[in-house]
Structures are given as C-alpha cells and as structure tokens.
Structure 1
Amino acid sequence: MTQLRVRALPSNDSGRLLVRVNKVYRAGIPRYGIANLTNTENSKSVRVLVLGHDDDSAIFLPYDIREALGVDKGGNLNFAIKKVGWLGKIWWLLRTPDPAVHVPAWLALVSVLLGGIGIAIALC
C-alpha cells in the first residue's frame, strides 16, 4: 500500500484516460501496461493505462479516474496497484470509454470472429 499526493495530468495528456506514476510505485508494470488501481480507503478500483513520471511524490490522475476512485485533486491517495493478465487487458480495451481505443479493439474482435467463421466454413 502506497500513499501519494493526487495531481492532475499534465496539459499534454488532457482527455486521455491514463495514470502517471513513478516506476518505483508501479509494481513491475511496464510503461503502457494495464493495471488495476485500487483506493485502499474505500475499496474502489479501476483498470487503467499506466505511464511514468519523474515526480516520485505524486500520482497524476485525470478527472474521470479521480471520480471513479473517489479522490480529490490535491488530496492523498492510499492505493494498491496490480498488474492484470491478458484477459484483463482485452476487457480494458473493449470497455474503455476512449473511442480511440475501444473502436479499433471492437473492429479487431469482429475481424477475428469473422476470420474464424471463414475458416470453419472452409473446413466444412
């Protein structure tokens, strides 16, 4: 369990649903890894895309993730971070509200399903 001050994302990340936290606190999660971030005070959790930051005294969260975790900008967040498996990554890709992520993910899923159907028909 780690406690860091909550800060807003830098302006160049505005509109993106990601978390920036120093690699010391990422529990081995690589850059652009998907993690389950849990507020240990209220047990609210959210799957997030994780990027790094040089500041090791703060965690940078966008508004939507702060709301989902029940924390305020400028407050402190007691959190646990855990790497998710490949099913968790796929679930995040399909469920994220960011259309730049979920639209291509759904198109890829439909393409794989149609390819599978095509192979099944060809084998019959």
Structure 2
Amino acid sequence: MSKVLSSLRYSAEHEWVDSSSPAKVGLSQIAADALGDVVYVDLPEADAEITAGEACGEVESTKSVSEIFAPVTGRVVEVNQEAVDNPALLNSDPYGAGWLFTVEVSEEGPLLSAQDYASTNGGDVE
C-alpha cells in the first residue's frame, strides 16, 4: 500500500505540501503509483505566480498525462531540475528527491491532513 507521510498536507488532486518556508511541493506516492512509470515532468518556471487549485504543470507516464495542480497560491522560488532531468524520481522517492518545486506561499488552498487524505484515497499513514 502507498505511503502517506503524516508530516505533510495534501490536495484533493494528490499534491503534497510541507510547512517549510518556502514550502516544498510534490506528488503523493498514491499519485505516482497510479501514474505508473513517470517519463516526463513539466513544471512552472521560477518566479511564476501559481494559484491554488489551478493547473501549473504536467506529468507524463507510460499510462497517461496528468496535470499538476497548485496546492497553494504564491510565487515559485525554485524548480527541482533533478526531477525534470530524471522523472523516475517521482516514482522512486516522491517525498524526497522527487519533490517538484518550492513556493513562497501567500495563501493556502483547501488541504487535507495525512489522515483525511489516506482515508479518502487509501494508503498507510507514516
């Protein structure tokens, strides 16, 4: 069963966000497992303004193409170039090296606790 980290909060669209400043954003292991092998990632550029609930990127896997939705509103500070260059990191380490970008948060979108996210989508809270 997919891992859901208790230290993170999650969007209904399967993105996670941590509480650091700037906040780090990524895709949950549940999303990565559902996508299959990730082969391409398109992320917002540094300094781009993103809005909670709106598409801000794309993930392509051997199964499908899915949009990445911003879990928060704010300015993108940094993009994880390593994940762009090696998209398989989203599968192998979605909560570590596979993070997507960091955001200077001005407003949060509707976020779920790890427990609520896991009970809605399956997964083991750790």
TM category, shorter: under 0.3
Considering fraction of residues, name the structure with more strand. 2
TM-score by length of 2: 0.26
Over alpha carbons, which structure has the higher Rg?
1
> Please, what TM-score do these two structures have when normalized by structure 1?
0.26
